[in-house]
Amino acid sequence: MHTPACALLVEGNPSVASHVNGLLTRLGYKIADPFTCAADAVAYCQQTPPDLVVLGTETTRMLGPEATARLFHEHLDVAIILLKDIDQRSGNEVPRYADYTTFAMGVAQALGVGHPSRDFEPPQDYILHDRILLRHQERMVRVAISDIHYFRAERNYSRLYTPWGEYLIPISIHLVEHRLAHLGFFRTHRAYLVNHNFISEAQSDKLVINRHDVPIGRAYRRKVTRRVGEFSS
């Protein structure tokens, strides 16, 4: 089942904390109770890992934003936004009172989008190493990659199928394949990308996954036969 995507804020200034909480809520994240101490926040995150951490400049027992970010990275694999006393965003560093678009662009860069642009709506769907964060019913949710059965292309979008439902993400199937090939996902058709773990039956023109038929394109048959053989041996 998908679960809410969570963000954690470390900031001791109530005004800044309120502003950032408003931005995170607008982006659709579930917000954990804020922390004013970075060490306490790290300890909390080790027990309840968030998807995004926002580090402010006014905290107790602070080592400085960069040192605190290193502390997080030593113990956690998590995307980090740094709030700074700056006028313009630089990478994942954003002004303390950033507007929505600027903050969203910082989130996008922290989550792995190389160079988000203000000319377009900031992306809100992200493929991470073990999960996909996506916008669903006005909220950000996480779907474990290991739970995804297959993807189907819909123009420049991809629809992903899980045991409990399906989700549409604005990411092309070509990019999805590029990001997930190392996890055992492979193309069976120009419009389909499958997770080898859920193949229950293989025929010459289709695979069966969770009682659903996934077609095998003629140009893909030899490759699919080889891949299915590799995973079943």
- The list of the chain residues with pLDDT below 50 reads none
Q: Tens digits of per-residue pLDDT, 72-84?
A: 777 677 889 999 9
Q: Which domains does the chain have, with CATH numbers?
A: 3-110 (3.40.50.2300), 148-232 (2.40.50.1020)
Provide the pLDDT for residue 46: 85
Provide the phi-psi class of 61: left if phi over 0, else alpha when psi is between -120 and 50, else beta.
left
Provide the pLDDT for residue 77: 78
The label of the residue with tokens 């010459």 reads 204
Provide the pLDDT for residue 148: 98
Q: Tens digits of per-residue pLDDT, 159-204?
A: 999 999 999 999 999 999 999 999 999 999 999 999 999 999 999 9
Provide the pLDDT for residue 222: 93
Residues 74, 29 contacting (CB under 8 angstroms): no
The DSSP code for 96 is T
Provide the pLDDT for residue 51: 94
CA distances from 197 to 21, 63, 94, 130, 223 (A): 39, 45, 41, 15, 17
Q: How far apart are the first and last CA of the chain?
A: 30
DSSP calls for 44-87? HHHHS--SEEEE-S--BT---HHHHHHHHHHH---EEEEEES-S
Provide the pLDDT for residue 64: 63
Provide the pLDDT for residue 115: 64
